[in-house]
Amino acid sequence: MTVDRLPGGTADRPLAAFIDATQGAVGEVHYVDEPDSGYRAVARLSGHLAAMWRTVYPHAHGQPDADGHLRAACLSRAREVEWTLRLFQCQLSGDVSAAGHSATAVLTLLAQRLDSYRSAERALVTWLEDRLATDTRAKLARKYHRALTRAPTRPHPRCPRTGPLCYAAFWVHGRWDRVLDTMDSRPGVGYGFPMPSLNDGAASSAGDGNGHDRGSSGPVQG
C-alpha cells in the first residue's frame, strides 16, 4: 500500500501538499517492524485524522454547495481507521486484547482501510480547494498544520467528530496523549511533522504567524 498522491501542484494546492507530506512521513504500514516506528506511525495517522476533523471538515461543511455524503464518508472511514489503529497500538504495547490477532492481519486491514479512507479524503480535499480562493487555501493549510502540532497522538475512535464537544475532545486528548507519551517512553512522537516545499507565496503564508511553523513542526505555543 503506497501513499496516495493528491493531484495538482503544491503551489496551487497547499492543503493537499501538507496532507501529502504528513501521509508520506508514515511510509508503508505493511513494513512497520519496530515498535518505535509503529508508535510514530500511530501518532502521525492519529494526528492527521484529528486535524482533519478539527479544521478541514468544518470548513467543507460551511461551503454553500457542501457535499454532505462525501464528508460523511470521510468521517465514517476515518473512524474505521482509528479502530484499526487502536488494535495495532494494543499489539505494539502487548495488550491482551490484541492477542487473538496476528500482526500481519492487523497491518493488512489497516492498509485496506487507509486506502479506502484516503480515496474519500482525496476527493473531498480536491473538491474543497477547487472552491477556495488562493489566500483562503493557504490559511486553511496553515490551520491544518498548526492543528497537527496540538493533535492527539493516539487513536480515539469513540471521540465526537462534530459539534462543540469535538473541540473540547481535541484539546483534552491532545494534551493528555503527550503526557502519556512521556510516561510510556514515546517522547517526540507527536512532533516533527514535515513541511512540504511550496513554490510561491503560499509557502511563506503557511509559515507566517508562528516561528515553529517555519521548517519545523515542533510544538506551537498557544
pTM: 0.78
- The residue among 24, 83, 78 whose CA lies nearest residue 56 is 78
| Interatomic CA distance for residues 20 and 121, integer angstroms | 11
Secondary structure E strands in 56-154: none
Domain ranges of the chain: 14-213
Kindly report, residue by residue over 77-95, the tens digit of the pLDDT.
Answer: 999 999 999 999 888 887 7
Inform me whether the pLDDT recorded for 72 exceeds 80.
Answer: yes
Kindly report, residue by residue over 105-115, the tens digit of the pLDDT.
Answer: 888 899 999 99
pLDDT recorded at residue 210: 40
| Interatomic CA distance for residues 176 and 87, integer angstroms | 20
| Interatomic CA distance for residues 113 and 116, integer angstroms | 5
How far does CA 174 lie from the centroid of its chain?
13
DSSP assignment letter at 193: -
Q: What average pLDDT does the segment 43-71 reach?
A: 85
